[in-house]
Amino acid sequence: MSIYLNSLLLGLVGGFLINYLSDCLPQKRRPTRPLCNQCGQSLPLLAYLTLQQCAHCGERRRWRYLILYFASIFVVYWNQIYPVRLDFWLSLLVFIIFGVITVIDIEYRVVLFETVILGGVIFLLIGVARHGLLSTVLGGGIGFLVMFVLYWLGKLILRLKNKTSSTLDEEALGFGDVNLLTILGFLLGMPAILVALWIAIVSAGIFSLAVIFRLLLLKQYRSNVAIPYAPFLIFGAFALLYLVRP
């Protein structure tokens, strides 16, 4: 019984924190009163908690909030029945950080510097405690280098592709993805960060194929479909920490 009660209560707290931080950090860069993620006006706490429609812009606040509440409840439950690699409270903390970075990248296409710094310090401490200083620093360093090379390759390919139209200022990978793989490297250490990257590349590849296939079916294919990569990097780390038996 207490497992279910734990999952429900802590899952709701985790889901609230992910939703709340994903709303205020991109707009204000710090914790504020709860905000509408559409118009940025602040909402009364009770209206925010009960997912009421925004009184200012009429935004129906529903799916993302509900999905995150359910996901968070399930992850807390999972943490108690499955031998995940982190201890209970740390796995909840890491899940909240993962959730905030993922939601903000999907909604704003950005990995905020604030989340990288705060997450980085926490991941560094967890990394050193889990697998020692050397593996932690190596994981971060290798994560940075690999992603940095991919970042420049992406820039180069885009530049070659867009030689005729130099006004296009898009990026295949943002520098936020480089920062993100660095801090995930702290958390996972060496060589696990490379496994996480491999999972991320494979899952992003499958997702891209599915998107392209769908566009082809709808006859709307274009070659510059931009997809956010942070969720896949996070998924790689999540799979290693939460889904693979220690």
Binding site residues, Zn ion, CB under 5 A = 36, 38-39, 54, 56-57, 59
Q: How far is the CB of 232 from Zn ion (least distance, A)?
A: 30
Nearer to Zn ion, 56 or 62 (CB): 56
Tokens of 66: 């509900």
**Per-residue exposure over 148-168, b if at least 16 CB sit within 10 Å of its own CB, e if not:** bebbeebeeebeeeeeeeeee
Query: Which CB atom, from 41 or from 224, has the smaller least distance to Zn ion?
Result: 41
Contact 101, 22 (CB under 8 A): no
Nearest distance, CB of residue 92 and Zn ion, angstroms: 29
Q: Please state at what angle helix 88-108 crosses helix 63-81, rounded to 10 degrees.
A: 150
At 42, phi and psi to the nearest 5? Answer: -80, 150
Q: Which is nearer to Zn ion, 54 or 111 (CB)?
A: 54
Specify the residue, 104 or 111, whose C-beta has the smaller distance to Zn ion. 104
Question: Please, which residue, 42 or 162, has the CB nearer to Zn ion?
Answer: 42
- Phi, psi at residue 64, to the nearest 5°? -60, -40
**Alpha helical stretches, state H, 82-112:** 88-108
Shortest reach from residue 47's CB to Zn ion, in Å: 11
Backbone angles phi, psi at 73, to 5 degrees: -60, -45
Residue 98 CB, nearest approach to Zn ion (Å):
26
**Beta carbon of residue 17, minimum distance to Zn ion (angstroms, whole number):** 20
